[in-house]
Amino acid sequence: MSVLVYVENIQGQFKKSAFEVVSYAKAIADQLNTNLVALSIGQTSTDELSNLGKYGASKVLNVGSLNAFDSQAYASIIAEASQKEGADVVVMANSFSGKGLSPRVAVKLKAGLVAGAVELPQIAGGKFSVKKTAYSGKAFAQVSLSSAVKVIALNANAYQVKDGGSAASVADFQAANAVSKVKVKEVVRATDKISLPEAELVVSAGRGMKGPENWNLVENLADALGAATACSKPVSDAGWRPHEEHVGQTGIAVSPNLYIAIGISGAIQHLAGVSSSKTIVVINKDPEAPFFKVADYGIVGDAMEVLPKLTEAVKAYKGQS
């Protein structure tokens, strides 16, 4: 009996979302009175691996031989490690690659899957259920899993990182024939950008910006805050901004600590994608904009005038602290 957590690295480094997943898996291991085994695939330093012990892993398995991501090969390694470790619960991130992995791992292990988990499982009286987002952020569903092995994919920003543990032991894991049938030709890293699904602060803008030429105002505010930039659907449809910045029901769902919406009216489809944000600030010149109804702070004003003032105020605040 154990809990196994697959931890994603980006170019050999673990990031905050990885620590969230390990902390979450550790809490489940505590619920089940068992230990947590972490699994990493791809080249990573031993220090980086043993550091996962800080977040609760007692042992870290490392498959250093495979670097390029392929869901089929990775899923077979994760399933194999889970079986060898006798894992009852397998945890991973509900990230872009996690979305390709967790379903395959679940089928391999004939395990029930909750993808998009937002809370710790409820375990009582032989029942095991997990809360997840549903209807594109318009609701939550408590999903019960009846299989012997359970797979959970955790949403970003849904669980607080908890540290305090000590270094974990690191061991090489020899996986059987994990051959990738997918050939990676090219990788483009946007290293200067903050990843939107994981961002803690998001500055998002809509048609109220009047045109792509005014986006420097949005970017200046995002830079001052250290925030990711996002946009509404009409803006990405018009080609002002790339599709990967589109937040909403048919785009990316975000759950940052702070979501600043500028010149976005607040259509129900957009609200679905931002409803789990902790604090929402809405800037709109129309006092009747529906977005104000779900905002924590509202400013009625022209984005072109408000944005530079807000950027200056943020810079002044950052300057003092």
Partner 1 sequence: MKILVCISNVPDTTTKITFTSNNTEFNTAGVQYILNPYDEIALSRAIELCEGGKGTVTVINVGEASTEPTIRKALAIGADDAVRINAAPRDAYFVAYQIAEYAKEQGFDMILAGRESIDHNGAQVPAMIAEFLDIPSISVIKKLDFDGSTATINREIEGGKEVVEVSAPFVASCAEGVAEWKIPNMRGIMSARTKPLQVIEAKNIDQLSAVEVYETPAPRSAVKMVDAADMTGLVNLLHTEAKVI
83 binds partner 1 (CB under 8 A): no
Contacts with partner 1 by CB under 8 A: the residue count is: 98
Structure tokens at 195: 């990843």
Beta bridge partners of 41: 63
246 binds partner 1 (CB under 8 A): yes
For β-strands 169-172 and 127-134, DSSP reports them as unpaired
250 binds partner 1 (CB under 8 A): yes
Q: Is 54 left (phi over 0), alpha (psi -120 to 50) or beta?
A: alpha
Within positions 11 to 30, which residues make up the interface with partner 1, using CB under 8 A?
17
Give the closest residue to 22 by CA, choosing from 44, 6, 42: 6
319 binds partner 1 (CB under 8 A): no
Instruction: Spell out, one character per residue from 123 to 142, where the chain touches partner 1: x when CB under 8 A holds, - when not.
Output: ------x---xxxxxxxxxx
Closest to partner 1 by CB, 14 vs 173, is 14
61 binds partner 1 (CB under 8 A): no
Q: How far apart are CA 251 and CA 287, in angstroms?
A: 26
Task: Decide: 40 and 74 in contact? Cβ < 8 Å.
Answer: no
Within positions 194 to 233, which residues make up the interface with partner 1, using CB under 8 A?
195, 198, 201, 225
Point out which span in 33-41, 170-178, 183-191, 203-211 binds partner 1 (CB under 8 A): 183-191
Residue of 25, 75, 89, 264 that binds partner 1 (CB under 8 A): 75
Q: Which amino acid is at 319?
A: G
3-state class of 196 per DSSP? helix
Closest to partner 1 by CB, 58 vs 228, is 228
Residues 6+ apart with CB under 8 A from 1: 32, 34, 86, 88
Within positions 90 to 109, which residues make up the interface with partner 1, using CB under 8 A?
95-97, 99-104, 106-108
Residue of 2, 6, 8, 61 that binds partner 1 (CB under 8 A): 8
